[in-house]
């Protein structure tokens, strides 16, 4: 064999093991970035499957048509999913709104029930105080506190105290003191 062979750039290079390769060692740069562009080997071509080179135009066209059909189907499916998501969000908002309204109604109902219970207890207390005869200092000191707790207006509190002191209440009528 000849001592030189052609490189991809066409320049002769010594074959390994020949006398020419021992006489003139090839100078290679340490870093490939430093190699001038004309001396760098061309990058390898991408490896494609064999059928990529053997497709006929009609087969390629059929593939394109099939792929476009798939794209249209996927776009339609995506649109349907988006519409379904939108309707689900609307339904969720509607349910949340109904839940808030029900909670508000429940709180209002609880407030009304509490108010009715408080009004009942207040009336029972009123009857009790009206029927209670005047007694000890401690009992007399608690009556204004309880009237304040039950939020009796001043004029109503005076009326209750007047009923109490005038007849001594029901217990006073029976002679209990």
Contact 171, 132 (CB under 8 A): yes
Residue pLDDT, tens place only, 78-100: 999 999 999 999 999 999 999 99
- φ/ψ of 160, rounded to 5, equals -65, -45
Hey, what are 48's tokens? 């494609």
Query: What is the three-state SS of 109-150?
Result: HHHHHHHHHHHHHHHHHHHHHHHCCCCCHHHHHHHHHHHHHC
pLDDT-derived band at 26, boundaries 50, 70, 90: low
Give residues with Cβ within 8 angstroms of 12, minimum separation 6: 4, 5, 6
What is the distance between the alpha carbons of residues 24 and 12, in angstroms, rounded to a whole number? 12
Residue pLDDT, tens place only, 123-174: 888 888 777 777 777 777 888 888 888 888 888 888 887 777 665 444 444 4
Sign of the torsion formed by the C-alpha atoms of 23, 29, 35 and 40: positive
Contact 129, 143 (CB under 8 A): yes
Q: What's the whole-model pTM score?
A: 0.38
Sign of the torsion formed by the C-alpha atoms of 132, 134, 137 and 142: positive
Inform me whether the pLDDT recorded for 176 exceeds 50.
no
């Amino acid at each position: 064999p000849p001592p030189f062979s052609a490189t991809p750039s066409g320049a002769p290079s010594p074959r390994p093991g020949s006398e020419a390769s021992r006489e003139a060692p090839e100078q290679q740069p340490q870093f490939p970035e430093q190699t001038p562009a004309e001396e760098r080997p061309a990058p390898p071509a991408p490896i494609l499957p064999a059928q990529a080179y053997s497709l006929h135009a009609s087969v390629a066209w059929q593939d394109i048509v099939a792929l476009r059909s798939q794209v249209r189907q996927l776009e339609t499916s995506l649109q349907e999913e988006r519409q379904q998501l939108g309707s689900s969000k609307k339904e969720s908002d509607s349910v949340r709104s109904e839940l808030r309204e029900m909670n508000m109604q429940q709180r209002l109902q609880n407030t009304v029930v509490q108010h009715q219970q408080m009004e009942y207890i207040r009336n029972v207390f009123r009857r009790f105080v009206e029927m209670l005869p005047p007694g000890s200092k401690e009992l007399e000191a608690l009556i204004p506190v309880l009237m304040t707790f039950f939020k009796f207006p001043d004029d109503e509190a005076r009326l209750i105290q007047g009923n109490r002191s005038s007849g001594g209440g029901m217990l006073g009528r029976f002679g209990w003191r």
